[in-house]
Chain A
């Protein structure tokens, strides 16, 4: 199936650990994103990559580092996890420019204990 897929779906870890979330899209899109949805359900953009280059970096702690090995992948690495990092993280992709809609993955629920 054509889709944006994220792994893992659930991630439970302790404070101070380092973890990664992987995202892959097979839609042929050249722009990918990471969004964070907090407990109040607000969706906030974190990063955007276009053709493996960072184009949007909102005010996100530098413990969060996106890595794009190719156009189809955008992974999110988080160092020194904190309780406040607990949230659902969504990956998305789109074609560049114009009015291209975003296609989202089903999210990774991160719980930091």
Chain B
């Protein structure tokens, strides 16, 4: 699976949009981009994933560049409860057995009041 690069930390004001970048310049054509987050003392929580089209769900939006070498996770109206470590992961989506996710060091997002 391709490696990802994320900034180690970011701050965001409460109520504003949080834009978390991720570089995955070695991503291959069949690799998906996944985002998870881990709130302190909890297990990682799935947020969203995509292949090449932008995606949106009730938690966030995922913007993937046309060349797929980078992506941005957008939390449209950050709250204090969004303070967490955010992990960007690229992984092959297979039709057979599930593949493991390899987590990097992630971005510590701190939402400030």
Contact = CB atoms under 8 A, between A and B. Distances in A.
A45 interface: yes
Interface of A: 4, 31, 33, 41-45, 48, 50, 55-56, 58, 90, 92, 94-107
For chain B, the bracket of interface size reads 20 to 34
Contacts of A100: 98
Given A44-B103, A96-B98, 12 more contacts: A33-B100, A41-B106, A43-B87, A45-B100, A48-B97, A48-B98, A97-B95, A98-B93, A102-B44, A102-B46, A105-B43, A107-B42
A103 B98 contact: no
Given A33-B100, A99-B32, A43 B94 contact: no
A50 B97 contact: yes
A25 to B, nearest CB: 12
Interface of B: 32, 34, 36, 41-46, 49, 85, 87, 93-98, 100-106
B7 to A, nearest CB: 15
25 contacts: A41-B85, A42-B103, A43-B87, A44-B103, A45-B101, A90-B44, A94-B98, A95-B98, A96-B96, A96-B97, A97-B95, A97-B97, A97-B98, A98-B93, A99-B49, A99-B93, A102-B36, A102-B44, A103-B46, A104-B44, A106-B41, A106-B42, A106-B43, A107-B42, A107-B43
